[in-house]
Structures are given as C-alpha cells and as structure tokens.
Amino acid sequence: MPSEHPQPLFVLVRPQMGENIGAAARAMWNFGLDRMRLVAPRDGWPNPAADAMASGAGRLLDEAMLCPDLPAAVADCSYVFATTARQRELTKPVFSPERAMQVAAEKIAAGETVAVLFGPERAGLENEDIARANAIISVPVNPDFPSLNLAQCVLLTGYEWRRNTGEVAPEVVAAGKSGWASGLEIEKLAEHYEAQLHEAGFFFPETKADNMKVNLRNLWSRMPLTQADVQMLHGIMRQMVRWKRRGG
C-alpha cells in the first residue's frame, strides 16, 4: 500500500518506454514518493522492462494506478501542475519547480489532492493536456537543448518536493497568445469606462467624483490584463451602451 505520508500524485501521461517508467519509479522512491499513476502507456502494462529499471522501487509499479485517459487520472484532484520545458501559449500561473512544490505542500496540508503531470518522452505534454492543469511547472533547462528525460524530470521535481526550503523564484502568470496589454491600451480602456460611467451618472455625488475616478484608474493598473482582456472589456461596455440606447 502507498505510504500514509501526505504527498502529490505523479502522473505519467502516455509514457513510451517501460525502462523510463521504471527509472521514474526509482527517482520517486529516492525522495519518498510512491503514488504513481499511468495514463495509456504506449507498450501496455505491466511491462517487464519497467521492473528491470525500478531497482528496488518495484512496489511503486505494482501499486501504480493504470488510467485510460488524463481526465480519469486527475478526477479526484483539486489542483494539477503540468511540467514543461517549452513556452506555451496558454495563460496560466507558471512556477519554478521549487515554488511549485512549496505550493503543493501548502495545498496538501490543507487537505487538497495535488497531482503533477509528466509528458511522454518524445515531445512532452500536449497543449490539450496542459489545458487540464491549473498551473505550469517550468523547468529551467538550456533553451538550445530543452529535451529532458522523463525520469530526470521526475527526479528534479521529487528533489524539490523533498527539499522544499530555501529561496524560491517568484510566481508569474504567462500572458498567453495575445500578450500583455500596454500602458496605452490600459489608458484607452480607462478613458472609455470613465466616459461612459460619467454619462450614466455613476460619479455621484460630485464631491466624491474625483476620488472615485482615481480608484477606478487604480483598479485597472492593479489588474494583470492581456490584450484580449482589454478588447473584451471594451466590447462589454459597448454592448451595454447599445442595449441601454435600444431601451433595454
């Protein structure tokens, strides 16, 4: 049976070689992790090649949960990380391995079930897989050679789970395909809303109008808006004005 020690689930998504599954199990057990899930292994399961590479961690393979697809593998999880060494066009929080495992520890301590996804050896996780995750773990590899062996990635993440101390990189949020909104775009959005809200009589009473406008500007500057966000917010206001002018 898996240990009672609280820990994240390590989910190997469509792993290709049994040897790498065994090596991943060995890496997990090096750091006291023994909750492995396998999503549609290419060469079927069980796999004798995995047993040969596990080297003392065969119990993890015996107890690994075999899942037909990724949704089934994370159905009981409240927070999911996806590991990748490549930049993705998806707007998600992006963590360093150190920070990710710190967040995982905090969530698990609060009673949540956390999973970490690892992709197949050849190309890693697909965007469809990453879209099902809550956040990304970005592995700081050489950009000229980003390919990372499956077991190595598992080892790195397991090490950070075990260590879980020291200075960590700050959390960031990727802007996705549209990119972050510029200062000018934010300014135009603020002007649009201020003008329409003024026409609607929102800034009342007059003695508080200036302070209300400052607070509204501060709201826009405090929000991490992408260009797509700004376009949508402009569209919302335009549609509300059209609706009102048609008589509701």
What is the average per-residue pLDDT within 112-119?
A: 96
Res 141: pLDDT: 82
What is the average per-residue pLDDT within 136-157?
A: 88
Do residue 97 and residue 207 come from a single domain? no
Out of 6-10, 85-89, 90-94, 180-184, give the one with best mean pLDDT: 6-10
Q: Which of 173, 193, 214 is the last residue of a domain?
A: 173
Q: Does any domain span residue 209?
A: yes
Q: Does any domain span residue 178?
A: no
- Answer for the pair 78, 112: CB distance below 8 angstroms, yes or no: yes
pTM of the model: 0.66
Q: Does any domain span residue 3?
A: no
Do residue 35 and residue 145 come from a single domain? yes
Res 99: pLDDT: 95
Q: Does any domain span residue 105?
A: yes
Q: Which of 173, 196, 223 is the last residue of a domain?
A: 173
The residue ranking higher by pLDDT, 113 or 171, is 113
* Residues of the domain holding 118: 9-173
Segment 18-47, tens digit of pLDDT: 999 999 999 999 999 999 999 999 999 989
What is the average per-residue pLDDT within 103-113?
A: 93
Tally the residues of the chain: 248
Do residue 139 and residue 231 come from a single domain? no
Q: Does any domain span residue 32?
A: yes
The percent of residues in the chain predicted with pLDDT above 70, rounded, is: 93
